[in-house]
Amino acid sequence: MKLSARNKLPGTVESIEADGLSAKVGVRVGDNHLVAMVTAEAVRELDLKVGDSVTAVVKSSSVMLAKD
């Protein structure tokens, strides 16, 4: 599969919390943890399970977090 996004992060699914139409999928990427908000339908279609190897693809014009 070819994608225009350049930020492809291989990781492992650590958690899946489905709630109605949406789902929060926790992914371990090396020493980091990220959370992807996806549809519950996407979780079913991808047959995602804890322990699965996935690639997190990040395509965003801006990602900002700050804390003093």
pLDDT digits (tens, 9 = 90+) for 1-31: 788 778 899 999 999 999 999 999 999 999 9
In a domain, 18, yes or no: yes
CATH code for the domain of 28: 2.40.50.100
pLDDT tens sequence across 48-61: 999 999 999 988 77
Q: Of 4, 3, 30, 5, nearest to 14 (Cα)?
A: 30
Whole-number Å distance between alpha carbons of 26 and 11: 10
Cβ-contact 27, 33 below 8 angstroms: yes
In a domain, 58, yes or no: no
pTM (predicted TM-score): 0.85
Q: What pLDDT sits at residue 42?
A: 97
Whole-number Å distance between alpha carbons of 13 and 21: 19
Q: Of 36, 30, 32, nearest to 15 (Cα)?
A: 36
Domain of residue 24 covers: 7-49
Q: What pLDDT sits at residue 64?
A: 82
Tally of CA atoms within 13 A in the half-sphere of 61 that contains its CB:
0
In a domain, 34, yes or no: yes
The answer on pLDDT for 43 being more than 80 is: yes
In a domain, 68, yes or no: no
Count the domains in the chain. 1
